[in-house]
Amino acid sequence: MPSPSLVVSAETAGLGNRLKSWVSAMRLGNEARVCWPVNKNMPATFDELFANDAAIDAVPSGATEYSS
């Protein structure tokens, strides 16, 4: 089975679960992105924690969404 071109991690739990989901997305697809909503489980934005451009605002149409 070929890998999807884009996999988006859309986990909404705490930091550990989000990181686990993101790593899984990296293993599943050719390109991995993170949809990282701020909520009571994670009060910090992705950009406040990490210095890279993996975050996106919404899951694009046609992407494979991964949530653990």
Between CA 3 and CA 7 the distance in angstroms is 9
Q: For Cα atoms 13, 5, 63, give the angle at the middle one, nearest 5 degrees.
A: 50
| Average pLDDT of span 5-9 | 87
Q: Domain-by-domain residue ranges, the chain?
A: 7-66
The Cα–Cα gap between 28 and 43 comes to 27
Average pLDDT over all residues of the chain: 88
Residue 61 in this model has a pLDDT that exceeds 90? no
pTM of the model: 0.84
Q: Quote the pLDDT of residue 52.
A: 92
- Long-range CB contact pairs, 49-52, < 8 A, 24+: 49/15
Q: Which residue has the higher pLDDT, 6 or 38?
A: 38
